[in-house]
Structure 1
Amino acid sequence: MPQNHPDTPGTDDTTPALTRDALAQAALRILQRDGLAGLSMRKVAAEVGVKAASLYWHVRNKQELLDLLTDALLGSAEPPPRTGGWREQFHAYSWRYRRLLLDTRDAAKVVAGRLAPGPHLLGLMEDQLDRLRAAGFSDADAAMASYLLGAFVQGFVLQEQSPISAAEVLGTSRRDIADAAGDLFRALPAETFPNLVALADDLTAPDMDARFEFGLQRVPALYSPPHGSHPSGAAADAHEGSPRRNLYRDFLAECAELLDDPRVRTARDRYAEAAAGRSEVARLVGAAGESGDAAPLERAGGLLGELARIEREAMGELARLPAGSDGPVMGGRPRR
């Protein structure tokens, strides 16, 4: 590393030693003042009182600076309280994230699509994933749901922070622009644009808060634990439609049709009983995830243990059939 170079951080007694955090905070101030288009390495250097070359000891280019800025933007983020069900918690999460992005000029343009795992982002991701897994989401669904939350909020704010038209850049308010669009829609020929004419008010009247809330009320419907997912752990054991259980069920049904043995019929009926019970387990796990109440989850755990015992007994009946009988052979196929 060069020694006593005039641009080396910390060698000038009149200039505080640079840190990556100091650069991120300087970039944050410039972003608020000049917007993303006005953010440059030169301006950041001037903001902290050094020459631009000094910055390259800490970041190689503007993209690395934006990585630092992304995490700095999340520095004031506070997760919502863990009260209510997972839907209520992530509703609050989304509103807080939107307000945080709107508080800083062009913030959504910086963070959208960027994965820059700094300390603030890592803490928020860990908190979100912990809540989702506790609500009964499978590991894969928890990861996707967390991504969906960020993508929805970032995309929405990205539209809010982008000019709605050239008129806004020239000083016209978004409300006036929307009202003018409504007038234009209503003036269209109804025979050609019947829907635009009929929905002119609905298309242009709602403010951005109303539009955001509309989306939040519907995004959670796209995912719900654990129904329709591919659960893991206890939720996976509750999933009655797994390929392994379908194979056992079909095997037992075929054996019962081919063989005149009461033990096979008993095994088939017992396994069917367990399969029906797993629907109740899935319902209880889902109820726990929705309410945040641990009681349904405890009942599901007890029922799951009982159903697993029934399944083991059902398969045990087949295993005890003698290999030379007219029943299935252990490890083999039913005789026809």
Structure 2
Amino acid sequence: MALNRQDIARAGLKLLNDVGLNGLTLRLIAADLGVKAPALYWHLKNKQELLDEMATQMYADSAADRQPPASLGEWEAVAHSARALRKMMLAHRDGGKVFAGTYLGDTSLVGEHPLRRSIEAGLDEARASQGIFTVYCFVIGFVIEEQAVRPMPGEFDERYAGSAGQAVLGDADARFEDGLVMVLSGARQWLEAG
């Protein structure tokens, strides 16, 4: 069987739901693919490269969902993409942790800057990128926390059942939307003030 990085990433994503990020190893993926671990090292040097490739695959697989309708304004499109990014990460156990800090191997997946029209109208591109990066970090951080409480749909970490954990037990979708509104309005206000 001729392997490639995409095959390895897909096998890693499949196993991720079973064993979680801490249990995922190149050796386990090799066994799942029916090869010896050294065969994978021909394609990936270490676990970080595996995570980079898995994140790239997750991002590629969600391209259609992340594409906002043309009718949306810039900030509504940013919100749409943030929701799609969250959905993408929640589709995989530890998806937020997998995606955090990874490098996308295919930068063509990123597409044009979501605030391109504003940049063309004079908005500083570096500041616009900082605003978008802040939204991106909110989404990843939210998902990491959300998956700590509920690793997979239907699962629940009982440590959060006490009164101290009540804040994280609420409707995650509503909490995400509230946080997204706060971050987007703050980013927009910061950009307009600059």
Q: How would you bin the TM-score normalised by the shorter chain?
A: 0.7 to 0.9
For 1:155, the equivalent position in structure 2 comes to 141
Q: TM-score, normalised by structure 1?
A: 0.50
For 1:140, give the aligned amino acid.
A
Contact in 1 for aligned 2:149/2:168 (Cα 8 Å): no
Q: Give the whole-Å Cα distance in 1 for the aligned partners of 2:72 and 2:26.
A: 45
- Identify the residue that residue 181 of structure 1 maps to in structure 2: 163
Please tell me whether residue 34 in structure 1 is matched to residue 22 in structure 2.
Answer: no
Q: For residue 61 of structure 1, what is the aligned residue in structure 2?
A: 46
Contact 2:135–2:180 (Cα < 8 Å) also in 1: no
1:105 counterpart letter in structure 2 = R
Query: How many Å apart are 1:84 and its aligned residue?
Result: 2.5
CA offsets per residue over residues 41-75 of structure 1, 9 Å max, x none?
Answer: 11111111111111111111111111111111112
- Tell me the number of residue pairs that the alignment of Structure 1 and Structure 2 aligns: 182
Write out per-residue CA displacement over residues 170-227 of structure 1, whole angstroms, 9 at most, x where no aligned residue.
Answer: xx496xx2xx417x9xxxxxxxxxxxxxxx8xx5774111111111111122233862
Whether the aligned pair in 2 keeps the contact of 1:45 and 1:51 (CA below 8 Å) is: yes
Counterpart secondary structure, 1:113: coil
Q: Is the 8 A contact 1:125 1:146 kept in 2?
A: no
Q: Which has the higher contact order (CA 8 A, sep 6+)?
A: 2
Q: How does 1:132-143 map to 2 (within 5 A)?
A: 132-136=115-119, 137-143=123-129
The answer to whether the Cα contact below 8 Å between 1:46 and 1:52 also exists between their aligned partners in 2 is yes
- Runs (4+) of structure 1 exceeding 3 A deviation are 203-206
The aligned runs of 1:36-185 (5 Å cut-off) are 36-77=21-62, 78=64, 79-114=67-102, 116-119=103-106, 122-127=107-112, 129=113, 131-136=114-119, 137-163=123-149, 168-169=156-157, 172=158, 177=161, 180-181=162-163
Larger Rg: 1
The Cα of 1:149 is off from its aligned counterpart by: 2.1
**CA deviation string 1:98-144 (max 9, x = no partner):** 11111111110111122x1222xx244323x1x31213432102221
| 1:209-248 CA distance string (max 9 Å, x none) | 111111111112223386222xxxxxxxxxxxxxxxxxxx
- Where in structure 2 are there 5+ consecutive unaligned residues? 151-155
Q: Which amino acid in the other structure matches residue 43 of structure 1?
A: L
In the alignment, the residues of structure 2 paired with residue 25 and residue 17 of structure 1 have an alpha-carbon distance, to the nearest angstrom, of 14
**Tell me, which stretches of 5 or more residues in structure 1 are unaligned?**
1-15, 185-199, 230-336
Letter in 2 for 1:30: L
Cα distance in 1 for partners of 2:101, 2:4 equals: 26
**AA at the equivalent of 2:97:** K
| Residue 23 to residue 98, structure 1, CA distance change in 2 (3 Å) | same
Question: What percentage of aligned pairs have identical amino acids?
Answer: 35
